[in-house]
Amino acid sequence: MPKAKKPQSTAVIGAQWGDEGKGKIVDRLAPEHDAVIRYNGGANAGHTIVVQGKRFSLHLVPSGILYPDKKAIIANGVVVDPDQLLKEIDNLEAQGIDTAGLILSDRAHIVTPYHKAEDARRETLLAREFNEQEATGGIGTTRRGIGPAYAEKAHRAAAIRVADLLRPAELKQLVSRAAQLASPEIREDPDIPSPEAICDRFIEIGEILRPRITDTSYLLHDLQRAGKRLLFEGGNATLLDVDHGTYPYVTSSNSSALGIPAGAGISPKAIHNILAICKAYCTRVGGGPFPTEIQDDLATTIRERGREFGTTTGRPRRIGWLDLVALRYAVMLNGVDSLCMTMLDVLSGIDPIKVCIAYEIDGNRTERFLPDARSLARAKPVLISLPGFTEDISAVRSLDDLPSNARHYLSYVEEHAGAPLSLAGVGPDREQTIEIH
């Protein structure tokens, strides 16, 4: 039989509440692609890649950057904190990584110091009401200015885009308008640089970034026409999508696959393969309902074993059992072609392994996800137990070499999630991956 032709474009999407291991899988798939594209979110994302024990933490820079011959494209849908971007470029260069392939959309929006201050101001104000399970209080954001930057984009009048960094006169007007519209508390905060200082810094950064700035939508079309292979890297995840996630405990962009066409300026028809990443259990950072959350010591065990602390904020991640109701929803919403299950190694020694197959809400059973946070907060998980395994599987590289209970777990998930498994992760290193089909 001739080998099936590989799809020209693939999207790697988080199927849960983030931190599923997208960075590792993008890095793993990058060699067989020509460009890796971020299309949503900003420095709220934290993607970790481990190569022979060396860790790279990326926030804005696409996870294809470790390969010097690949383009790493930040497309129009991303909100860019210019200082953070420069810091990341400098860190990578200092680690010996050639960042020449990094390209930035002229239409990506800029996160300003006002946005970060506004994000923090709102979170602090609402923190008093904050309650992780109830749908009240603060969101528990990363305080990276994401919400205010996307809000500014929708407001339009004082929004700054990457191209504006190269137009000093217009930039000055926009920054002074942004300052005028900022809350008095922020405008008068001595820790916030003056509009003149912000403007000078943006012009300086614009000059540094100038050679990387282009219309990435045309670039992507040119690459497609030339038969090049594209890899889209989702920031955040499906259940954090502003339209389809557990609103209001979500981020401010379309962080499912549904955000790709708008965020990259390509047709929905140009995405040929959707690979969703899920952990062997669930985690969540920040507030919002989490039906399968584990409240006892087992959460601490899993957190420590899986190093479940935020890449962006260092916050301990909340831990829960795998939620198949939520996973089926993610499969449906994204049109998933296959799944990659990461962190299988972390479950070694945990017996039984529980999974959620349905919810009970007000005495009724449902197998449908409830993306409305206020409804989901009332859902009780229906959990079943599967037999665990005790072996260390971190050196396993083929499905046949996994303990039978680990294989059984994978096939149970495959059967109930509604999509085939194509990959499984057994450790953080790019090599610690099992190819399934």
**Size, binding site for ligand IMO by CB under 6 A:** 23
Q: Which of 402, 420, 405, 34 is CA-nearest to residue 232?
A: 34
Q: Is 62 in the site for Mg ion (CB under 5 A)?
A: no
Residue 187 zone, left/alpha/beta (φ > 0; ψ -120 to 50; rest): alpha
Q: Which residues of 176-193 are buried (b: 16+ CB within 10 A; e: fewer)?
A: eebbeebeeebbeeeebe
Query: What residues numbered 308-337 form the site for ligand IMO, per CB under 6 A?
Result: 311
Please choose which of ligand IMO, ligand GDP, Mg ion, none residue 263 contacts, taking the beta carbon within 5 to 8 angstroms, the exact cut-off set by kind. none
| β-strands 282-284, 322-323 pairing | unpaired
From the centroid of its chain, how far is CA 214? Answer: 24
Among 285, 302, 340, 355, the residue binding ligand IMO under the rule CB under 6 A is: 285
Q: Is 428 in the site for ligand GDP (CB under 6 A)?
A: yes
Answer for the pair 330, 336: CB distance below 8 angstroms, yes or no: yes
Residue 119 CB, nearest distance to ligand IMO (Å)? Answer: 7
Q: Is 254 in the site for ligand IMO (CB under 6 A)?
A: no
Q: Is 235 in the site for ligand IMO (CB under 6 A)?
A: yes
Q: Is 24 in the site for ligand GDP (CB under 6 A)?
A: yes
Q: Is 140 in the site for ligand IMO (CB under 6 A)?
A: yes
Please choose which of ligand IMO, ligand GDP, Mg ion, none residue 145 contacts, taking the beta carbon within 5 to 8 angstroms, the exact cut-off set by kind. none
Q: Please tell me the distance from the alpha carbon of residue 405 to that of residue 424, in angstroms, as a whole number.
A: 14
Answer for the pair 11, 271: CB distance below 8 angstroms, yes or no: yes
Q: Please tell me the distance from the alpha carbon of residue 294 to that of residue 300, in angstroms, as a whole number.
A: 9
Answer for the pair 177, 158: CB distance below 8 angstroms, yes or no: yes
**Size, binding site for Mg ion by CB under 5 A:** 3
Q: Is 306 in the site for ligand GDP (CB under 6 A)?
A: yes
Nearer of residues 195 and 245 to Mg ion, judged by Cβ: 245
Residue 19 annotated in active site: yes
Q: Is 205 in the site for ligand GDP (CB under 6 A)?
A: no
Nearer of residues 144 and 430 to ligand IMO, judged by Cβ: 144
x/- string (CB under 5 A) for Mg ion, residues 15-44?
A: ----x-------------------------
**Angle, CA 186 vertex, CA 182 and CA 192 arms, to 5°:** 110
Residue 47 annotated in active site: yes
Q: Which of 33, 47, 59, 244 is catalytic?
A: 47
Q: Is 64 in the site for ligand GDP (CB under 6 A)?
A: no
Token pair of 281, please? 């259990």
